[in-house]
Amino acid sequence: MPGAMTPRQRVGAAFRRQVPDRVPRHLGFTPYLQQQLVERTGHTRAEEAFDLEMRHVGFKPSLEPPDFTRYLPTDLPPGTTSDEWGLTEKPGSFFHFTEYVYPMINLRDASELDDWPFPDFTPAYRFEGVPERVAELHEQGYWAVGSVGHIFEYSWYIRSMEQLFLDMRLNKAFATRLLDEITARQVYRAVKFAEAGVDAIATGDDVGSQKGMIMSPAMWREWFKPRWAEVWAAAKAVNPDVIITYHSDGDITTIIPELIEIGLDVLNPVQPECLDIAALKRDFGDALAFYGGMGTQTTMPFGTPDEVRAEVRRLIDILGAGGGFLIAPTHVLEPDVSWENIEAFLDEVQQYGVYA
């Protein structure tokens, strides 16, 4: 049995496909359960409430957020918000869910992007304190993660998915310019995180559905593979040891070999409802670590605590065999997940997830 490890050592071993002392774990909450967390534990962050191994660092908000007013309808309801990428959400009718509004949907020519207020991450204040925070987390023994986010998703959030797909077929100059602008900012952020000494850089795009890719592998290969290769290579040029994680919901088995080819280290979230996890471990476990696995469409919301515990054991036996696994729900937990199931998940990982 490996000796007791710090949280950072534990995640590092798992993500490098080695055997840690125990299976590391993670989870996150949507607002309703976040409030439950505060009421039950007195903590505002799950990482602190449950002493989770991974901690996140990030850029500070812009002091001059972009103004998308001229691109948006004038009749949006109160409570509508836009982030600095232009992702605009108006209130929905159920819990935390919202409806998207697409500020870029009416643009037609790539030259119109000359005036688009893309986010600016270069002011020094935006990264102020991040290297110091990374050093502090390392001193405390935690694994530090810098989140870069998306390329495909940031583009369709503002353009709409339908229009972006049309652009990639019929208006390639526009799609190229839009995706290049986003990629350049992701390269910049990845490099800054790598320079700050983070242990991992989190990236991702949801390009899978329950039954396969939401675009053809050829389209992904043309538009997104080279751009993610650029982002990851830029980070690894600064620190060859930095771990790259990639998130995509759904079944993206078709492109996993190519993700490995361009430098992927860890695949997330590994949805058991649409993936053969035993086949994933068999076919890719020598090149990839796995992060996730705990079904949020099945076991977490609809199982009993005993069924949650049984699923934890099954996942550890399969994905955790020989190391290479961080167990986590495959999505931030929704209001239909009971607190008893959350406690069962965390407790069973602690009880069963020890490597002998």
DSSP output for 194-222? HHHT-SEEEEE---EETTEESS-HHHHHH
Q: What is the reported pLDDT for 259?
A: 99
> Which residues have a Cβ under 8 Å from the Cβ of 192 and sit 6 or more positions away?
59, 121, 127, 130, 146
Closest CA to 275 of 326, 208, 188: 208
Distances (CA, A) of 187 to 18, 122, 238, 344: 29, 12, 12, 40
Q: What is the reported pLDDT for 1?
A: 57
pTM score of the predicted model: 0.97
How far is it, in rounded angstroms, from Cα 41 to Cα 247? 29
The segments of the chain whose pLDDT lies below 70 read: 1
For residue 312 the two structure tokens come to 């934890």
The domains of the chain, with CATH numbers, are 7-352 (3.20.20.210)
Q: What is the reported pLDDT for 94?
A: 75
Residues 331, 295 contacting (CB under 8 angstroms)? no
Q: What is the pLDDT of residues 122-144, one digit of tens each?
A: 999 999 999 999 999 999 999 99
Q: What is the pLDDT of residues 203-245, one digit of tens each?
A: 999 999 999 999 999 999 999 999 999 999 999 999 999 999 9
Residues 20, 2 contacting (CB under 8 angstroms)? yes
